[in-house]
A and B are shown apart, each in its own frame.
Chain A
């Protein structure tokens, strides 16, 4: 149970962090590249 919970938490955290970094890079790179 705890291992499953930990795995779920790590995956959720990584997905959310990737989303945040992705949004930041989308905003900045869109303007730098154009």
Chain B
């Protein structure tokens, strides 16, 4: 990775100019244009939404603990599955990665801040009304949106006002994401320190550059789709309404043209985080840096031509199904390159297993399981059997929870000492890892069995033969859920009372924020750009 020297002789020139720190009180957060403040707000917002979506998940699992209807009205159950999905995708995972981007990209490329700091503030504060619209839709007549997070017509055209609230929320979230992405691309392309060529950038910056391009390309497509839903509902159009000559299947095509790149939007930054952590704890440079960059770009490009694998059962021609099947299987190649490179980085490294490394290794193992079940589902004839079963639920939770979320945990433990200046308790971090690892697998591995046995997803009741594994899954979900409250305690206790962290607590970490900035990082950094060799 890159090595940097300072523009001037005296140490830390440009990094310790705290001539004006943050203002006090609420105005600091309301009006801030500082990338670190905004990153912090993104991360806290996403954690709040994660707990909100997690509570919904636990209600779902509580209902499914045994067959029959116990706790929830079926309509409310449908609302929970829908809003759980929307909140986790748009409110928890995506903002968490944007929080990382805000904190890390300027520091890792040697810039003073993001390219458009005021727009950065606006991108964050748009999230609040969007989150409120989503959650408050539970309290309007007819209950919250219950169509599933994919918003499929014709169901969505028939439901009440909560759908309009959700469509508005998706529009706002999309605008926020697009502005955030423009900021990220512009920062990376225009504000790198002298000598920081593209191929010297840390992998996290690379993955976010590619992710931001994906977002700019597909978020407007989602916005277009939900705009058309809105006009179908209120302005007499029939784009997706078969009763008026429209085609509901067209919505599926447009939605998944957005939706599949969206899946990679949620995993590529995770790849970036893991690609930084593994070399640090293996004490070796990342194996195959250039191939990692090319693999990331390949995955992003392929993500645009695989959307049909979400809709093998809608009656596309066999040639279409075959095209999407082969294109999907092709993604295993660049993904395999990445997994090979991570393992090769660890090979004969002087490894230690602190919490960030544990979560990263957990990520590789479990994400690979999610990848394998993805290969299974990519095979069109198999998917026709498994479509809409719990096998699909198992697959995407292995990819998004033990994939994206574990990488987020890894990243938090890795960079929290740099951000806060305090070191977390290693014992508590490891406890959090093992509780999460065990709870997650107990919760979601049985979903493979349930799916293969034919249990459909999105139902509040089920046939008796599915009872045992559902009970096991619910126990695991509660272990996993409560271990995240423990994580909240770890983070707060670290920030408030942890022991002071060294400038570079991780021996093998080598990007600019570790090598050039003190711990905790000052409010303003790199006012004078470092020179990278």
Contact = CB atoms under 8 A, between A and B. Distances in A.
Contacts of B129: none
Contacts of A21: 220
Given A9-B115, A9-B116, A23-B221, A28 B185 contact: no
Contact of A20 (B183, B219, B228): B219
B220 A13 contact: no
Interface in B185-228: 185-187, 189-191, 216-217, 219-221, 223-225, 227-228
B216 A13 contact: no
B216 A20 contact: yes
Interface string B145-172: 0000000000000000000000000000
Most buried by A among B216, B223, B224: B224
A28 B216 contact: no
B166 to A, nearest CB: 19
Interface residues of B, number: 24
Contacts of B217: 19, 23
A26 B218 CA distance: 12
A28 B191 contact: no
B191 A5 contact: yes
B186 A12 contact: yes
Contacts of B116: 9, 13
Contact of A13 (B115, B225, B227, B239): B115
Given A27-B254, A31-B239, A20 B190 contact: no
Contacts of B186: 9, 12-13, 16
B4 interface: no
Interface string B119-140: 0000000000000000000000
B436 interface: no
Contacts of B332: none
A28 B224 contact: yes
A27 B190 contact: no
A27 B182 contact: no
Nearest to B257: A27
A27 B186 CA distance: 25
B241 interface: no
A12 to B, nearest CB: 4
Nearest to B212: A16
B178 interface: yes
Contacts of B216: 16, 19-20, 23
Contacts of B178: 17, 20
Contacts of A24: 220-221, 223-224
Contacts of B221: 23-24, 27
B323 to A, nearest CB: 22
A5 B220 contact: no
B102 interface: no
Given A5-B191, A12-B190, A19-B216, A27 B181 contact: no
Contact of A27 (B183, B189, B191, B224): B224
A17 B182 contact: yes
Q: Which has the most chain B C-beta neighbours within 10 Å: A13, A20, A23?
A: A20
Given A13-B115, A23-B220, 11 more contacts: A5-B190, A8-B189, A9-B116, A13-B183, A16-B181, A16-B216, A23-B217, A24-B220, A24-B224, A27-B225, A28-B228
Interface of A: 5, 8-9, 12-13, 16-17, 19-24, 26-28, 31
17 contacts: A5-B191, A9-B186, A9-B190, A12-B115, A12-B186, A13-B115, A16-B182, A16-B216, A20-B182, A20-B219, A21-B220, A23-B216, A23-B220, A23-B224, A24-B223, A28-B224, A28-B228
Q: Shortest 8 CB-CB distances between A and B: which pairs?
A: A27-B224, A24-B220, A23-B220, A9-B190, A8-B190, A16-B182, A9-B115, A12-B186
